[in-house]
Amino acid sequence: MKKLLFIIITLSLISCEQENEINDLRVIDLEGNVGKSREVLLSEVAESIEYIPLETREESLVGIPRKESLIYENNLLFIIQKGDYFKIFNSKGDYLRTFNKRGNGPKEYISSNMVVVDNNAEVISIGSAKNIVEFKTTGDYIKKIDYPLEESLQGVHYKRFGIIDKNYYVLSTQINHHLNNLNYSAIILDSTSRVVLKIPYPDKEREFVEKLSIQVIDYLYPTPLLFRFKNSVRIKNGYDENIISIDKNLQIDTAYRLNYGKYGVREFSSNSYSSKVEDKPFLDLHGKIYESSSFLFMSFKTGNLPLKHWEFKNKLGEKASAPISCSYFNKKTGQFTFIDPCGLDEFGLIDDFEGGPAFWPLYVSQDDYMVNHIDAFTFIEYAKSHKVSEKFKKIAAGLKDTDNLVLIRVKLKNK
């Protein structure tokens, strides 16, 4: 009877643990949603979408921005240009000014490798090889934060940074070799350049990376991913399941846990890795994570798993495909959804407001706006070939092929 009672109690405890994990809104269930993808309407996550033509004049013209060169905070749009300077527009598309403090002087920045604009769009912080330099977004110099010179951090390269409550600077390391930068995933500086906290790279992740060849490391890219949410900074370390959060009191907690299950990269031996993405039997986070008050937006390389491939026209105009799937996680319900592509060159959420092209964010602001852009020529052609709203048609009719970009701004739900 004692043995039977022990078994019953043990099974009950396991069942409770499993139920608690299922009901934990921090758990993002990737494994359980493979094969359950669907098309998703923008109205499921958003209140509205706006198409805002940016003012066109000689000094306001911008090229096609690179992937991570769009920032939108407090109704101001910052577009990073080739040459490490910024064009700034307001939410109506009016050109305001050009910000350019690049140089070798004591109150200048060498390059704009890493950029953070504060929630009020009043301060722009620019990180390069040796330091972070802060300016008012109107151009005035504020201060410089030098990277630490202590011996334990010699040779460490930094990939991204985030700011916590205007007091602390979180620098995530870059891992490009199994012998480099594996001690810490991030360090935290105060405004005097003093190191106040070092965050260790997880032991399991370190052991995993140390077994990989340099070629595989370059392909799998285990560099910590850093992103911010309100007054906290989040870090996801390589293929570790946990996304940790650091708050204004420098307290560290688990914000989310990605349940890769049998599809986790670490579930496979190193000889399973193939140069062909299509042969990969696991999920691999692709690009950045964007977080709003209610949602997380992520995309994944999906290999040969039963998820629809993204179809697009390549540079030669030929139809091609890639095993990439976007997704979103509802923070309030705990529901995770893989999103099906909805047509050639259509990646993301279906615009059921104005009938425009599928939308996927390049930036999510701290006041819950998602933004992206579309060039004028593509906008005009899309209006001709698709069933769009009268509002969309009217905007297209007012554009010329040579006009500036059109900003796409989406207001997310927060209920």
Tens digits of per-residue pLDDT, 237-256?
Answer: 989 999 999 999 999 999 99
Given 101, 120, 146, which residue is the final one in a domain? 146
Q: Is residue 107 part of a domain?
A: yes
Residues recorded for the chain: 415
Give the span between the Cα atoms of 350 and 396, in whole angstroms: 19
pLDDT at 364: 97
We report the CATH number of the domain holding residue 102 as 2.40.10
pLDDT on residue 415: 77
Count of other CB atoms within 10 angstroms of residue 248: 14
Q: CA 403 to CA 166: how far, in whole Å?
A: 38
Mean pLDDT, all residues of the chain = 89
Coil, strand or helix at 172 = strand
Of the pLDDT bands very low, low, confident and very high (cuts 50, 70, 90), residue 356 is very high
Listed in sequence order, the residues at least 6 apart from 51 whose beta carbon sits closer than 8 Å to its beta carbon are 354, 356, 374, 379, 392, 395, 406, 407, 408
Segment 3-32 mean pLDDT: 59
Interior angle at CA 221, CA 256 and CA 80, nearest 5: 85
Please report, for residues 173, 212, 227, the alpha-carbon distance to residue 207 in angstroms, rounded to integers and kept in the order given: 17, 9, 24
Supply the pLDDT for residue 83.
84
Task: Decide: 392 and 386 in contact? Cβ < 8 Å.
Answer: no
Q: Give the C-alpha distances (Å, rounded to integers) separating 193 from 129, 132, 198.
A: 15, 10, 13
In a domain, 54, yes or no: no
User: Does 14 score more than 80 pLDDT?
Assistant: no
128-to-110, 114, 133, 157, 245 alpha-carbon distances in Å: 7, 6, 9, 10, 24
Distance CA 410, CA 88 (A): 19
Q: With 90 as the cut, is the pLDDT of residue 190 above it?
A: yes
Is residue 415, in this structure, part of any structural domain at all?
Answer: no
- Return the higher-pLDDT residue of 9 and 173: 173
Instruction: Say if residue 209 is in the same domain as residue 267.
Output: yes
CA distance 330 to 332: 6
Task: Please give the single-letter amino acid code of residue 77.
Answer: L
- Asked which of 242, 275, 308 is the last residue of a domain, the reply is 275
Predicted confidence (pLDDT) at residue 21 exceeds the cutoff of 60: no
Domain boundary among 275, 299, 332: 275
Q: Is residue 124 part of a domain?
A: yes
- Whether residues 177 and 84 share a domain: the answer is no
What's the pLDDT band for 23 if we cut at 50, 70, 90? low
**264 and 172 fall within a common domain:** yes
Q: Tell me what pLDDT residue 175 has.
A: 84
Q: Residue range 341-345: average pLDDT? A: 89
**Same domain for 79 and 130?**
yes
What pLDDT is stored for residue 22 in this prediction? 46
Question: What's the confidence (pLDDT) of residue 46?
Answer: 98
Which residue type does 170 have? V
The count of domains in the chain is 2
| Residue 263 forms part of a structural domain | yes
d(CA 212, CA 54): 46
With respect to residue 250, please indicate whether it lies within any of the assigned structural domains: yes
Residues 168, 84 share a domain: no
Q: 107: which DSSP letter?
A: T
DSSP state of 227: E
Q: Is 42 a domain residue?
A: no
Do 120 and 212 belong to one domain? no
Task: Kindly state the average pLDDT of the residues 283-302.
Answer: 95
Instruction: Flag whether 360 is in a domain.
Output: no
Query: Hey, what are 131's tokens?
Result: 């330091």
Q: In the prediction, which pLDDT does 208 show?
A: 86
Residue 272: the pLDDT is 56
In a shared domain, residues 175 and 249: yes
| Cα–Cα dist 186/365, whole Å | 23
Per-residue pLDDT reduced to its tens digit, 130-187: 899 999 999 999 999 999 988 778 778 899 999 998 889 999 998 877 667 788 999 9
Residues 176 and 235 in one domain: yes
**Selection from 116, 120, 118 nearest residue 132 by Cα:** 116
* CA-based torsion, 94, 362, 125, 85: positive or negative: negative
Q: Which residue has the higher pLDDT, 106 or 64?
A: 106
Q: Is residue 135 domain-shared with residue 171, that is, in the same domain?
A: no
How much of the chain is helix, strand and coil, in % rounded to 5? 20, 35, 45
Q: Are 324 and 286 in contact (CB under 8 A)?
A: yes
pLDDT of residue 291: 98
- pLDDT above 80 for 66: no
Q: pLDDT, tens digit, for every residue of 323-342?
A: 999 999 999 999 999 999 99
pLDDT at 4: 45
Please tell me the predicted confidence (pLDDT) of residue 15.
44
Domain range for 114 is 72-146
